[in-house]
Amino acid sequence: MGRGVPYVQRQAISLCGKAVHGWMMIEHGDRVALGLSGGKDSLSLLWLLAERRRRVPIDFDILAVHVEMGFHSVDHQALARLCGDLGVEFMTVETDYGPRAHSPENRENSPCFFCAMHRRRELFQLAAAQGCRKLALAHHQDDIFETFLLNLLYAGNLSTMLPVQPFFGGEIVVIRPLALCPADLTRRFSAHLDLPVQPACCPSASLGHRAVMRSWLEERHQENKKVRSSFWHAITSAGLPMLPTPPTTQRKSRAKSKGRGES
């Protein structure tokens, strides 16, 4: 990577590359579905995976999928143009999950839970129908931290999102290439590239427990810049099955497994 490339771009490419390589997220011949909401994180992920495909000697396909939640405030043409510029196939799925999440139909769960559950189902189904065994989601390191705290405080367990997470017996594997990237990096990166970031369309976007956790974490980080690295070290060194391990550890363990003849 040339020295003329701005630091924010080099940093994003490096951290995404470390995650993809260290956790062995993408293999030769993979067809990867990518959840493209139009937010800063998913647009950054789209650009980074397209750039990685261009640079590395591994052939893989990318299918960007936008699940329209029913608010109709996202500029689908802007997303389609970006995908075209990057040489990425683009699809849109029309739903009415957003309005339904805020209707009397959804009495038992929060709107966020309702939308997340249904959106994930749509992505799983479309990935399978399109022959994509891998599903790339744009969850970053802050999302991992927030989910850990939410599960600890409200579900009573020690778990969070994993960088590589198989579902349905391994038929679909969720990968999170931004697992090493802080939220602020995707904000600066998307602004640097002038990506067509879409405005938040959900009326509940800034509400709920996750928003509280996000604010609390940001306050801790402002108080002490070591909080982020300490948090990451704590959860990746715990050795619990539903917590991530460091990417290098994951790579070494898989190499040992192959050496023993395991798949």
151: buried, middle or exposed (CB in 10 Å: 19+, 13-18, 0-12)?
middle
Q: What is the 3-state secondary structure (H, E, C) of 174-221?
A: EECCCCCCCHHHHHHHHHHCCCCCCCCCCCCCCCCHHHHHHHHHHHHH
- Quick: pLDDT tens for 10-25: 999 999 999 999 999 9
Mean pLDDT score of the chain: 90
Count of beta carbons in the 10 Å neighbourhood of residue 42? 26
3-state secondary structure of 136: strand
Q: Which fold has domain 7-258?
A: Rossmann fold (3.40.50)
* pTM (2 d.p.): 0.90
In percent, the amount of the chain with pLDDT more than 70 equals 91
- Ramachandran angles phi, psi of 2, nearest 5°: -65, 155
Q: What is the mean pLDDT of residues 109-118?
A: 82
| Residue 100: predicted pLDDT | 87
